[in-house]
Amino acid sequence: MNIGFIGLGTMGKPMAGHLLRAGHRLIVYNRSAARTADWQGNDSVTVVASPAEAAAQSELLFTMLSDDAAVEQVYFGDNGIMAGCRPAKEAAGLLRLVIDCSTIDPNVSIRTAQALEALGVDKLDAPVTGSKPQAEEGVLTFIVGGKRDVFEKVEPILLLMGKKAVYMGGHGAGSIAKLANNMMVATHLVALSESLALLQKAGLDPVKFLEVVAGGGARSGMAEMKGPKIIQADYEPQFMAALMNKDLGLAARLSDALRVPLPAAAAVKQVFQMACNGGHGEEDMSAVYKCYEQWIGTAD
């Protein structure tokens, strides 16, 4: 199949690679061209100069972008996806389906879906859990919103990049569940950071503590994956703190819109904002620990 892929960053590039290895032809676009350089000259990959061209040449089009603004631009901007849909429709509808894997405001997911459906193109919101390593290994989990029958038809293609795809409901449902998921990730990271800081200030060994945590009810994916990295001060980004701060902002807007008070998520958002303000936004999200680390050395 001719599959378009827009957004070849940390996540998008390995995801597109799985589609290519499965024998699909790729039509790729990235805002900064350097990201597509590796694929220049590959017979199965066409590098195009705009989202509109990607939309015009693809039957199925993925987008994996960093935030609402990027999605707005790529979908609705000059030479955006919407502009590319019209020629496709005139040519008997080459483009059938757009799948947005970006983590964005659910309202933007709904708006892009409505705009595409008005042109006869289906749309799914399908953000993923997992970061760089899971994208590379093809073991992401897709969290899907949109029409159920559309999801069921395309599920085998999602499973080329992931181990699982969970259907959550109509347009925007994938985005909402993704924000709820990331609130948990962020809160678990802050919980880990607070406990590690407290016990290190008390003079205890954080490695031994991770052993305690792993054996009981306090265990978490974050403690397993990020605990040892925090202790080794390895903040090489797998998922940047600034992106998590953005997701927590979206979750706060959803909390406000739905009138569900979330005091812990609110505190966690403030700590991520402090981490970003402290210059750690482009480090891994686990750099939120640096907000606490500074207190360990202070006098009692």
* Residues within window 93-132 making contact with a second copy, judged by CB under 8 A: 106, 129-131
Determine if 270 is a binding residue for a second copy (CB under 8 A): yes
Size of the site for a second copy (CB under 8 A): 75
- Tell me whether strands 2-6 and 60-63 are parallel, antiparallel or unpaired: parallel
- Rounded CA-CA distance 291/267 in Å is 13
Task: Write a three-state SS string for 160-217.
Answer: CCEEEEEEEECCCHHHHHHHHHHHHHHHHHHHHHHHHHHHHHCCCCHHHHHHHHHCCC
290 is catalytic: no
Q: How far is CA 244 from the centre of its chain?
A: 9
Determine if 300 is a binding residue for a second copy (CB under 8 A): yes
Determine if 225 is a binding residue for a second copy (CB under 8 A): yes
Determine if 297 is a binding residue for a second copy (CB under 8 A): no
Rounded to the nearest whole angstrom, what is the least distance from the CB of residue 246 to a second copy in the complex? 17
Q: Which of 38, 211, 234, 282 binds a second copy (CB under 8 A)?
A: 211
What values do phi and psi take at 205, rounded to 5? -85, 115
User: What are the C-alpha distances in Å from 15 to residues 63, 101, 138, 231?
Assistant: 11, 10, 7, 30
Determine if 241 is a binding residue for a second copy (CB under 8 A): no
Contact region with a second copy (CB under 8 A), list: 40-48, 86-94, 152-160, 250-258: 250-258
Q: Which of 21, 86, 153, 208 binds a second copy (CB under 8 A)?
A: 208
Contact region with a second copy (CB under 8 A), list: 45-53, 83-91, 148-156, 168-176: 168-176
Q: Which of 134, 171, 248, 275 binds a second copy (CB under 8 A)?
A: 134
Burial class (CB in 10 A: 0-12, 13-18, 19+), 97: buried
Q: Which of 98, 177, 230, 241 binds a second copy (CB under 8 A)?
A: 177
Active-site hit among 123, 178, 226, 269: 178
Token pair, residue 171, equals: 């347009």
Q: Which of 64, 104, 190, 276 binds a second copy (CB under 8 A)?
A: 190
Q: How far is CA 10 from the centre of its chain?
A: 10
- Rounded CA-CA distance 60/51 in Å is 13
Which residues, including other chains, have CB under 8 Å from residue 174's CB and lie 6 or more apart? 109, 124, 125, 126, 127, 142, 143, 144, 145, 146, 168
Rounded to the nearest whole angstrom, what is the least distance from the CB of residue 73 to a second copy in the complex? 27
Rounded to the nearest whole angstrom, what is the least distance from the CB of residue 93 to a second copy in the complex? 31
Determine if 222 is a binding residue for a second copy (CB under 8 A): yes
Rounded to the nearest whole angstrom, what is the least distance from the CB of residue 16 to a second copy in the complex? 20
Residues involved in catalysis: 178
